[in-house]
């Protein structure tokens, strides 16, 4: 028997708290986890079926298989035999069907008017449990994936982040391109895809999330009927091994109008207790047009059109990264300005007024992001798949509000020490020492 439990996501009821009905949780006998987040104002539902697997779970000769599998699940199933039948089933009722492969999770989702909830669950269930993996379709889809990979390589502002990942986590899954290589993609067969699916897409390794105009009991009933079959094992991942020591630089020479920079130091695993302090620090440094990097490097010095910092977090490691596009002849000056702002975070306590402003910014962005059913589905799916605490938006905002200026400065000194940043560069030729010297702090 499946039992529904409910956690109150409505908060204390004071003005400005997140408004939602309680989130219902259930687990089927085969281990499939279910979360239902009713949104009383919605007329639609987003149904998300996610798996705790991604490119991190690939062997070297499988590189790109997770992404290729994601594509192939759209190419036909037992009950929806072709890509056209699949797309027409959802688009025929005005819905949206999509998916995404990341390094530690893969998610398939449908957004439809709530009267088509059963169709959405039915289709996702068939995609996950009964894909056709047709050989002819696979050969065609390999070419599509390689076109996608080529587009990424042709966009230096995007590809520089891949170079940075390879620099941080060399010769291991976290550092590899999610789409794979031409050699590894072309080597895959229906049999290799089927083996990967058996290893990674067991229902005990999945979570079904429904957000919007939905009744929890109805969702559990539909899931039990379509996703209640026996499940497989959970996959394993390779532990990350970053390189310590002196700053490292990788550069790719291209005749571009701008030089593209991506800098990073190692960050925190996603479950680390200091992750909220790091989130505040990142927002102060480079999240938005009122951040320190934007105001100093762009507005005051005119060194770049666009600059931002961002965080990546994995099971056992992470990174804090900064990306910018600069005039090639001002590359060294821009790196020096970036390092200067990092140094200020280590050496100077964040003023109380700035800290209050950043917390208000994070609160507003969080609440604005949760007005759509797809965003709410993602909120509840990610922690289940990635194995950390399931917290309501209000609980997360309270933890951010509890961050003190001393916490920010401590994290800055722990993670952003002199010489801890590494650099990827794409652009016109530049001396290696010119890129390395500013990183020494």
DSSP annotation of 324 reads E
- Token pair, residue 15, equals 């003005």
Q: Which residue has the tokens 């998300």?
A: 48
Burial 235-254 (b: 16+ CB within 10 A, else e): bebeebebeeeebebbbeee
Q: How many Cα neighbours within 13 Å face the side chain of 373?
A: 27
The answer to whether residue 390 is catalytic is no
User: What is the distance between the alpha carbons of residues 324 and 308, in angstroms, rounded to a whole number?
Assistant: 7
Q: How many Cα neighbours within 13 Å face the side chain of 297?
A: 33
Q: Which residue has the tokens 């009964």?
A: 130
Q: Are strands 206-212 and 33-38 parallel, antiparallel or unpaired?
A: parallel
Bridge partner list, 6: 24
Task: Enumerate residues 6+ apart whose C-beta is below 8 A from 294.
Answer: 286, 288, 307, 308
Q: Which of 70, 102, 104, 341 is catalytic?
A: 70
Pick from 346, 344, 264, 261: which is nearest to 296 by CA?
344
DSSP annotation of 283 reads H
User: What is the distance between the alpha carbons of residues 192 and 62, in angstroms, rounded to a whole number?
Assistant: 8
Task: Enumerate residues 6+ apart whose C-beta is below 8 A from 374.
Answer: 46, 48, 109, 111, 211
Q: Could you list the active site residues?
A: 70
């Amino acid at each position: 028997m499946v039992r529904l439990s409910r956690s109150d996501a409505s908060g204390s009821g004071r003005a400005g708290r997140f408004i939602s009905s309680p989130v219902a949780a259930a687990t089927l006998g085969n281990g499939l986890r279910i979360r239902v987040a009713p949104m009383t104002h919605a007329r639609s539902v987003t149904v998300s079926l996610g798996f705790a697997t991604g490119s991190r779970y690939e062997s070297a000769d499988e590189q790109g298989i997770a992404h290729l599998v994601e594509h192939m699940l759209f190419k036909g199933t037992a009950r929806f035999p072709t890509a056209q039948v699949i797309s027409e089933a959802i688009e025929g009722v005005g819905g949206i069907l999509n998916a995404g492969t990341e390094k530690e999770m893969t998610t398939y989702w449908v957004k439809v008017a709530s009267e088509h909830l059963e169709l959405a669950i039915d289709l996702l269930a068939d995609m996950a449990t009964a894909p056709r993996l047709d050989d002819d379709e696979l050969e065609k889809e390999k070419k599509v994936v390689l076109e996608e990979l080529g587009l990424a390589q042709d966009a230096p502002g995007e590809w520089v982040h891949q170079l940075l990942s390879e620099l941080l986590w060399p010769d291991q899954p976290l550092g590899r391109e999610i789409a794979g290589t031409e050699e590894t993609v072309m080597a895959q067969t229906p049999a290799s895809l089927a083996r990967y699916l058996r290893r990674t897409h067991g229902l005990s390794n999945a979570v079904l999330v429904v957000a919007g105009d939905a009744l929890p009991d109805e969702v559990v009933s539909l899931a039990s009927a379509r996703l209640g079959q026996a499940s497989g094992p959970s996959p394993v991942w390779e532990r990350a091994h970053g390189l310590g020591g002196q700053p490292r630089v990788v550069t790719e020479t291209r005749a571009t109008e701008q030089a593209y920079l991506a800098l990073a130091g190692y960050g925190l695993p996603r479950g680390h207790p200091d992750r909220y302090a790091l989130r505040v620090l990142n927002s102060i440094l480079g999240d938005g047009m009122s951040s320190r990097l934007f105001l100093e490097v762009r507005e005051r010095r005119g060194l770049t059109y666009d600059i931002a910092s961002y965080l990546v977090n994995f099971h056992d490691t992470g990174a804090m990264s900064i990306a910018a596009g600069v005039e090639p002849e001002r590359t060294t000056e821009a790196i020096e300005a970036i390092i200067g702002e990092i140094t200020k975070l280590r050496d100077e306590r964040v003023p109380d007024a700035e800290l209050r402003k950043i917390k208000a910014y994070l609160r507003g962005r969080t609440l604005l992001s949760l007005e759509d059913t797809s965003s709410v589905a993602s909120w509840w799916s990610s922690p289940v798949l990635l194995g950390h605490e399931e917290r309501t938006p209000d609980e997360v905002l309270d933890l951010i509000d509890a961050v003190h200026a001393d916490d920010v400065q401590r994290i800055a000194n722990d993670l952003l020490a002199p010489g801890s940043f590494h650099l990827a560069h794409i652009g016109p030729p530049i001396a290696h020492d010119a890129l390395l010297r500013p990183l020494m702090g």
